Amino acid sequence: MMSSTSSRSISSRLVLPTVNTAMMSLHLAEISQQVAEGAHAILVLDGAGYHGTAKTRRPRGLVVPDTITLLHLPASSPELNPMELVWQSLRQNTLANRVFRDDRQIVNACCDAWNFFANDPDLVASITSRHWAQVKLRGRWY
């Protein structure tokens, strides 16, 4: 599952058969559909191989829409990644202490957990907001 949230309490997720650069490109295309007209999204990324890094920039073949800028976090800094708190909350509140019979049950449980989270804009905002974090991009603060 690839997922993202915004400061406007909008979330996006794709359940995909694998995680790689091609699937990341699909996810970025999905996110770009959520970007308001005239707006620009800054996507915070950890060091997953299909994200690229600050040094390598983007992996070969990764398609990044014009409405999105990738912001790579420093290595070993999960506390800066808002999605880490989302996954922690989902594990603690909807996925913990369960036994699954097969992969399909795992996928369904993850989708149900994500939908529970995404359908509560106040919860999305409270978990993912980083009011103390500001980014200056092209002379403008976000």
Q: E-assigned strands of the chain?
A: 2-5, 11-14, 41-45, 68-72, 136-137, 140-141
Q: What is the DSSP letter of 79?
A: G
* Tens-place pLDDT, residues 3-35: 666 656 567 777 878 888 888 889 899 889 888
**What pLDDT, on a 0 to 100 scale, did the predictor assign at position 108?**
92
The larger pLDDT score, comparing residue 34 to residue 49, is at 34
* Tens-place pLDDT, residues 98-117: 999 999 999 999 889 888 88
Q: Where does residue 66 rank: exposed (0-12), middle (13-18), buried (19+ CB within 10 A)?
A: exposed
Q: Where are the domains of the chain?
A: 2-134
**What pLDDT, on a 0 to 100 scale, did the predictor assign at position 81?**
79
Tell me: pLDDT of 42 over 90.
Answer: no
Tell me: pLDDT of 131 over 80.
Answer: no
CA distances to 46, 78, 85, 130 from 81, rounded to whole Å, are: 7, 5, 8, 9
Q: Which two tokens stand for residue 135?
A: 């980014």
Q: Angle between the 121-128 and 82-90 helix axes, to the nearest 10 degrees?
A: 130
**What pLDDT, on a 0 to 100 scale, did the predictor assign at position 99?**
93
* Most confident range, picked from 41-50, 52-61, 87-96: 87-96
